[in-house]
Chains A and B, each alone.
Chain A
Amino acid sequence: MTAIRPAFWALLAFGSLLLLGGMLFTNIAERRSAQTQLISHGQRVVADLALSDLALTSEARYTRHPAITDAVVVGMDHPGGLDHFPSTLFFAPVR
């Protein structure tokens, strides 16, 4: 066959996407090894200050300190008070 088959082009496109993925992967892997330093730094701080939670969000105490404060409960702030913070969409109720 003289013309290049479409399957070849598709394979080429797919391969280049995979290659892109591979490049991303190596870059991410490098950044991951850089992150381990950050993590060990965080571990030291957590140990020294006896912290228990990540400061991802500070809007509600049950998403700031999910591990050591009250669980996310409907009506916990006052009777009938709804769980209205946006971040609670991302945080599970703690058992």
Chain B
Amino acid sequence: MDAPYIGRLLNILDYALSSLRRKLLKNFGVFTVFSVVIFLFSSFQLTSRALTEIARQTLTTAPDITVQQMSAGRQSSIPLAAKEQLAAIFGIKKIDARIWGYYFDESNGANYTVIGMDTMPDHAPGSPWPGLSEGRLPTAGETGKAVISAEMRRQLQLGERKFFSLFRPDLSLASFETVGIFSKDSDLVTADLILMTMGDARNLFAIPDGLATDLLVQVGNPLEIDTITGKIRDKLAGVRVITRAQIQKTYEVVFSWRSGLGTICLLTALVSFVILAWDKASGLSQSELREVGILKILGWQTGDIMLLRFFESATVALFAFLTGWLLAWVHVGYFAGALFRPIFLGWSVLRPDLAMVPPLVFSDVLLVFSISVLPYLCATAVPAWRAAVVRADSVL
């Protein structure tokens, strides 16, 4: 490109900037509203990006295969006899039964997830299991020992006390001693967990002997998971078999579909903003018409004036975009999406300590850009033309 061409562009840009400054209040209003719209869009996008990423990375070690009994479309307890039936399948390394369920605490409205396991995780003797910040895990034969999270200790208002009680279905009390506290680092997966032995969980939920909530199947060769899944389905009637891949797939989609719904809500904001921008750009005052007339007399072409208007709106849009995006990053990265947290926490009483560090992904930037900046620029196209074709002799 030759120098005069660039120089002309620069001059028009200068004029556009100074004209923006002259109409500072109006343009600042558009800029602010636009930044807010972009901020909301990109916060949503970054939140779902960060959560999806956390889930994808954390759940790589989820159980190979989970087998659940279904009855009337709902999950019900699975007979332990199923374990023996499955043991014959070649390729299965290990089958664990476990009892888990939800406990609703009426005193504070919290929902706890109670997990009862027979085989407690292995760890090096002498040193505690790394998932704990203090205490130890209950050992196999013990009764009335539990591990809870720090957040739950706060909710139960335990303080330094060790003992707490939960109601059995018949409203008798089951008493537990806290022998350990989950580490804060694993809050994202353990914030509402009560870990106890399987016998305790059976006792608490009054689940008869010979039944469990689900079976966890470990497979020797990960490539065989799908084959083994099919075999399990053949052997057991009415079971639901969930593989690790399915769990991970769930978390790929789970934050995107409804965030699309959120995007639709945000679209309403965008549409009203575009209408605002159109309105602001097309309402030409007498002085603006005069300005265009003078420019035309000075030798500006229609194309130059359209370029001038384009520079104006592009400047506003670019600054608004960058500001909105950076604010969203601060919002999600440093305040853990404080504005959206009430939505996805919902009415839960226990709140995990959630840190989101959204990555910078080009496609996110492009997505937000094309959903916000491009419609805005389009909305200003027609007003720009209308302002540019004003005839000098009709306004002066």
Contact = CB atoms under 8 A, between A and B. Distances in A.
Nearest to B347: A59
B306 interface: no
B345 A87 contact: yes
Contact of A92 (B55, B257, B318): B257
B258 to A, nearest CB: 5
Nearest to B15: A6
A43 B258 contact: no
Interface string B100-115: 0010000000111101
Interface residues of A, number: 59
Given A41-B185, A51-B189, A54-B55, A90 B13 contact: no
Interface string A14-40: 100110110011001001100100110
B112 A92 contact: no
B293 interface: no
Interface in A40-95: 41-61, 63-70, 85-95
Contacts, number: 223
Interface stretch (B220-228, B356-364, B377-385): B356-364
Contact of B357 (A28, A41, A70, A91): A28
7 contacts: A6-B18, A44-B130, A52-B62, A58-B191, A64-B111, A89-B343, A90-B344
Interface of B: 10, 13-14, 17-18, 21, 51, 54-55, 57-63, 66, 68, 73-75, 96, 98, 102, 110-113, 115, 117, 121-122, 129-131, 182-183, 185-193, 195, 214, 216, 242, 246-247, 250-251, 253-259, 261-262, 315, 318-319, 322-323, 325-326, 329-330, 333, 340, 342-350, 352, 354-355, 357-360
Contacts of B10: 5, 7
A57 B255 CA distance: 13
B254 A61 contact: no
Given A38-B355, A57-B348, A66-B254, 20 more contacts: A24-B330, A28-B333, A28-B360, A31-B355, A32-B359, A35-B355, A43-B60, A45-B189, A46-B189, A55-B113, A56-B51, A56-B352, A56-B354, A58-B191, A58-B350, A68-B68, A70-B73, A86-B346, A86-B347, A94-B250
